[in-house]
């Protein structure tokens, strides 16, 4: 396409209309769910409904507005007010002030909002919207990972995690306080959607042993099994999850798993794998040679310096742990992956190891490794996008612990909408829209166009459904 054709195509697109279409297709019950959220405020003092508060916040996150103060400035425009009134069929005189928003979010139930998030995912799975992304036509991959959100020099609340620092020169001890979160992300193609959230936090400030990611996983897995009892799942996680408690949970729930493994995680298993590899006891599948674009290499390209060589080695049913009367140990299958390529004239080799419940053979080794490597999507398409590119989850939108969590969940909904907008619209890809382009065009439409799209009636139907 010429530059003129691209410009004309972009000018013909309504980003707001695309957002409306995404919500109509994937989130038809969203506004209805917001209306059911319990409002604990005194009814005589209510100026903005919970539905309006939550909707406005999601709009702000979709538009990548990075603070409550900035959101107040950008949204304090008559055109945005008219559009919101038209969408929600309200008669707002002003958009809610950020203090009002946070006062409302302080009193909203975190568990209730978390249920809304799971209901969104449940509906999409039930309607078979993501069936084409199933692994082997059956399994959904759920990736688990923890991440830090906020840090403080002084204790923020009684639930803070605490870390001690000692000055090597003076011996002075100082403390830092943190809030971390564990995410379970449903991986569908290039998108990762939050299917459950568990904050890693202490019960009070005097606990003898602090909360951790594994304990958070144990709390989370009970909810996931209850809410998705028959969903065929493949669990993915980093080396932290390569341990007996996690493997026992997967077996009990009849979940498959592909977990990153490092020698230090289970030393005896690491030593056994190294010994088998040293003695050439690992089976090796055929080597795969690709060009720099990741496609199978042609014979004519065989002498290029840009080729990529991948090797898969595996073994099945390695016993882990010494058998006792109370514990018989367990068995795992092991897959090793090597990738060699030329970088700036030098050969560079990358190595990964996974333990898995799936029995490995020459035919499926490449597929299992591909699924295992997708664990990085929770880092890149998940936390990295939410921290660095669009959603600013490390920004403290509220100091109140409950409001802080509600803001986080609203960002997860906004992130779903943005991903479906980015990856689900062929015309946006054809027009070359980037994340930054989408953000700029959203803001421009909302502040310059009254009743921004012809699909505005859809919003009304969603609200009264």
Tell me, letter by letter, the H, E, C secondary structure of 368-379. Answer: HHHHHHHHHHHH
The domain tally of the chain equals 2
φ/ψ bin of 404: left (φ > 0), alpha (ψ from -120 to 50), beta (otherwise)? alpha
Q: Are residues 289 and 434 in the same domain?
A: no
Tell me, yes or no, whether 45 lies in a domain: yes
Q: Give the CATH number of the domain where residue 339 resides.
A: 3.90.350.10
Q: Are residues 414 and 364 in the same domain?
A: no
Tell me, yes or no, whether 350 lies in a domain: yes
List, as one string, the DSSP characters of 275-289: HHHHTT-SEEPPPEE
Long-range pairs, 210-215, Cβ under 8 A, ≥24: 210/161, 210/162, 211/161, 213/146, 213/180, 213/182, 213/240, 214/240, 214/241, 214/243, 214/245, 214/246
pLDDT computed for residue 305 by the predictor: 53
Tell me, yes or no, whether 131 lies in a domain: no
Q: pLDDT tens-digit profile of 311-353?
A: 899 999 998 876 555 567 789 999 999 988 777 777 888 899 9
Q: If you average pLDDT over residues 208-219, what whole number do you get?
A: 94
Contact 292, 306 (CB under 8 A): yes
Helix, strand, or coil (residue 437): helix
Last residue of a domain, one of 383, 410, 430: 383
Most confident of 27-31, 61-65, 95-99, 367-371: 367-371
**Residue 454 pLDDT greater than 50, yes or no:** no
Query: 228 pLDDT band (50/70/90 cuts)?
Result: very high
Query: 251 pLDDT band (50/70/90 cuts)?
Result: very high
291 alpha carbon, distance to own chain's centre:
30
Q: Percent of the chain, pLDDT > 70?
A: 88
CA distance 63 to 253: 39
**Residue 304 pLDDT greater than 70, yes or no:** no
- To the question of pTM greater than 0.95 for the whole model, the response is no
pLDDT computed for residue 220 by the predictor: 96
What integer best gives the mean pLDDT of the chain?
84
Q: Are residues 350 and 420 in the same domain?
A: no
**Residue 411 pLDDT greater than 70, yes or no:** yes
Tell me, yes or no, whether 194 lies in a domain: yes
Q: Are residues 241 and 198 in the same domain?
A: yes
pLDDT computed for residue 294 by the predictor: 61
Give start and end residues of each alpha helix (H) in 293-434: 365-373, 377, 401-424, 426-430
pLDDT computed for residue 218 by the predictor: 96
pLDDT computed for residue 219 by the predictor: 96
Tell me, yes or no, whether 390 lies in a domain: no
Query: 459 pLDDT band (50/70/90 cuts)?
Result: very low
Q: Are residues 344 and 427 in the same domain?
A: no
Tell me, yes or no, whether 81 lies in a domain: yes
293 CB burial (10 A radius; 0-12, 13-18, 19+): exposed
Q: Which domain holds residue 426?
A: 3-113+402-464
179 alpha carbon, distance to own chain's centre:
17
Contact 87, 459 (CB under 8 A): yes
**Residue 246 pLDDT greater than 50, yes or no:** yes
Q: Are residues 419 and 312 in the same domain?
A: no
**Residue 453 pLDDT greater than 50, yes or no:** no
Long-range pairs, 249-256, Cβ under 8 A, ≥24: 249/217, 249/218, 249/221, 250/357, 251/330, 251/357, 253/221, 253/225, 256/139, 256/232, 256/356, 256/357, 256/358
Q: If you average pLDDT over residues 2-15, what whole number do you get?
A: 70
Q: Are residues 369 and 417 in the same domain?
A: no
Q: pLDDT tens-digit profile of 42-55?
A: 877 788 888 888 98
Tell me, yes or no, whether 122 lies in a domain: no
Q: Are residues 227 and 376 in the same domain?
A: yes
- Dihedral sign from CA coordinates of 230, 234, 237, 240: positive
pLDDT computed for residue 323 by the predictor: 57
Q: Which of 54-63, 127-136, 246-255 is predicted with the least confidence, judged by mean pLDDT?
A: 54-63
With both helix axes pointing from N to C terminus, report the angle between 15-26 and 435-448 in degrees, rounded to the nearest 10: 100
Contact 51, 88 (CB under 8 A): yes
Copy the structure tokens of residue 247: 């493997």
Q: Percent of the chain, pLDDT > 90?
A: 42
**Residue 457 pLDDT greater than 80, yes or no:** no
Last residue of a domain, one of 350, 383, 416: 383
**Residue 425 pLDDT greater than 50, yes or no:** yes
């Amino acid at each position: 396409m010429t530059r003129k054709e691209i410009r004309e195509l972009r000018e013909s697109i309504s980003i707001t209309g695309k957002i409306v279409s995404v919500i109509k297709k994937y989130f038809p019950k969203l506004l209805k769910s917001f209306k059911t959220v319990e409002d604990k405020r005194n009814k005589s003092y209510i100026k903005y409904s919970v539905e309006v508060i939550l909707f406005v916040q999601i709009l702000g996150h979709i538009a990548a507005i990075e603070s409550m103060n900035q959101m107040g400035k950008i949204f304090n425009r008559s055109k945005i007010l008219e559009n919101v009134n038209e969408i929600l069929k309200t008669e707002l005189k002003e958009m809610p002030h950020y203090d009002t928003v946070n006062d409302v979010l302080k009193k909203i139930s975190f568990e209730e909002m978390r249920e809304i998030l799971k209901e969104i995912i449940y509906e999409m799975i039930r309607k078979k919207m993501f069936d084409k992304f199933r692994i082997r036509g059956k399994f959904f991959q759920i990736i688990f990972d923890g991440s830090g959100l906020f840090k403080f020099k002084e204790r923020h609340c009684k639930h803070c995690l605490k870390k001690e620092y000692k000055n090597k020169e003076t011996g002075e001890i100082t403390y830092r306080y943190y809030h971390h979160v564990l995410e379970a992300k449903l991986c569908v193609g290039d998108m990762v959607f939050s299917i459950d959230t568990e904050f890693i936090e202490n019960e009070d400030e005097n606990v003898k042993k602090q909360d951790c990611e594994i304990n958070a996983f144990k709390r989370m897995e009970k909810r996931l099994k209850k809410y998705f009892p028959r969903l065929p799942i493949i669990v993915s996680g980093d080396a932290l999850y390569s341990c007996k408690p996690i493997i026992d949970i997967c077996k009990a729930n009849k979940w498959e798993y592909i977990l990153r493994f490092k020698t230090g995680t289970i030393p005896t298993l690491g030593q056994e794998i190294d010994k088998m590899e040293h003695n050439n006891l690992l089976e090796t599948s055929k080597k795969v040679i690709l060009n720099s674009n990741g496609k199978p290499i042609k014979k004519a390209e065989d002498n290029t310096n840009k080729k990529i060589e991948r090797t898969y080695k595996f073994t099945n049913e390695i016993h882990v742990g010494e058998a006792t009367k109370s514990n018989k140990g367990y068995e795992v299958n092991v897959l090793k992956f090597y990738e060699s390529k030329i970088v700036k004239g030098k050969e560079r080799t990358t190595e990964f190891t996974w333990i898995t419940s799936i029995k490995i053979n020459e035919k499926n080794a490449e597929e299992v490794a591909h699924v295992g490597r997708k664990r990085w999507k929770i880092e890149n398409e998940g936390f990295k996008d939410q921290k660095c590119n669009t959603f600013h989850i490390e920004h403290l939108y509220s100091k109140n612990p409950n409001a802080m969590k509600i803001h986080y969940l609203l960002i997860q909904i906004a992130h779903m909408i943005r991903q479906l907008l980015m990856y689900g619209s062929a015309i946006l890809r054809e027009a070359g829209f980037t994340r930054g382009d989408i953000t700029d065009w959203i803001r421009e439409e909302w502040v310059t166009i009254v009743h921004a799209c012809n699909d505005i009636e859809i919003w009304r139907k969603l609200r009264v459904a």
